Amino acid sequence: MQLLDIDSDETVRLSVTEAQALGESALRGIGYTPDAAAIIATHLVDASTWGYEFAGLPRILVIAERPELKKPCTPVTIIRETPASAFLDGGNNVGYIAILRAAEIAIEKARQSGVAVIGMRNSWFGGRSAYYMEKIARAGFAAIYCCSSTPTVVPPGAIRKVLGTNPMAIAMPGKVNPFIFDMGTAAVMSGEVLMKAFLGEEFPEVVGIDKNGTPTRSARDMVDGGVFPFGGHKGYGLSIAIQALGLMAGARMRNGDVSDFGYLLIVFDPEIFMPVEQFTAELEELLTKIKGLPRQPGVAEIRIPSERGFREREIRRQQGILLSKQIFNRLKEMC
């Protein structure tokens, strides 16, 4: 089988088991318990197998520098709830831990009530949204998820960042794999900016500004400046909407700033509308119809969101994942 990722003198290839062990060891080195380190590393390694290098083990370098890491953490708690809703305090836990717990509570409530609306404050770094969406969809539920975050994105015409990268995701159960659509509302994600800044790399296109408001391709300059929203005014409008939903989920309660982390999760059982078997059959029919459309010259395949990721994850589980030697060496030092 041809390798998905090409080795070079600047990379290290790790098996999934080796990557998991490295991640857990580095996370324990910065103070996480073995159980917490395992939860976070599992998420990061899964992101790497999907082909999202910046969302994988390199995130540990960013976590290590966060001021939240120096503050105490408490278990995720329910502040307010009804049979179909819960408002959570994330306990200053990183999102990989807190949002996973929020997803578990959402599944429990959706099983009981058919619908669950979950808001969460006092957490940071959401991680890869599709990770939680897959868990929910494989439990048989549909989900809509939004996450506001700290300033990274510059509104059109401005020279200062004020919005987060503000991802949103939609998931539904499927015949084999769930349907998952996961996107950020920024032109590039903050994790990619930080990884490229660490490596001293540039983006192929101008996707942000420096601290003076000058358009740039330099990731290091964007750390102090900001990035653009995707899709012009449409992405900008969606980003504001998600930032506002984050406020509803308690974003301001963390540090008093209206531009901060807030998480909103809506989960429901397809059975409230139709038998789940009917829905998954109709969804499969729709996706098959899309994939079977006549293709333009030179197009090998019409893909469905997350189809590539599911396919490549199975391959990388066999082939291993690539990690920059610079990042690998830094993680080894942290161990």
DSSP 13-40: EE-HHHHHHHHHHHHHHTT--HHHHHHH
Model pLDDT, residue 246? 96
> Is residue 119 in some structural domain?
yes
pLDDT digits (tens, 9 = 90+) for 243-284: 999 999 999 999 899 999 999 999 999 999 999 999 999 999
Say what the pTM is. 0.94
Model pLDDT, residue 3? 87
Confidence of residue 312 (pLDDT cuts 50, 70, 90): very high
Is residue 62 located within the same domain as residue 90? no
Model pLDDT, residue 103? 98
Tokens at residue 9, please?
A: 């003198």
> Is residue 26 in some structural domain?
yes
pLDDT digits (tens, 9 = 90+) for 107-166: 999 999 999 999 999 999 999 999 999 999 999 999 999 999 999 999 999 999 999 999
Give the chain's mean pLDDT: 96
Is residue 230 located within the same domain as residue 171? yes
Residues composing the chain:
335
Q: Are 245 and 145 in contact (CB under 8 A)?
A: no
- Taking residues 192-208, what's their average pLDDT? 91
Is residue 131 located within the same domain as residue 249? yes
Round to whole Å and give the CA distance between 186 and 175. Answer: 31
Tokens at residue 284, please?
A: 């499969």
Is residue 91 located within the same domain as residue 60? no
> Is residue 44 in some structural domain?
yes
Model pLDDT, residue 87? 98
Indicate whether 231 pLDDT > 80. Answer: yes
329: CATH: 1.10.1530.10
Model pLDDT, residue 78? 98
Is residue 89 located within the same domain as residue 51? no
Q: In terms of residue numbers, what domain contains 53?
A: 11-68+309-334
Indicate whether 198 pLDDT > 90. Answer: no
Round to whole Å and give the CA distance between 136 and 124. Answer: 21
Is residue 23 located within the same domain as residue 136? no
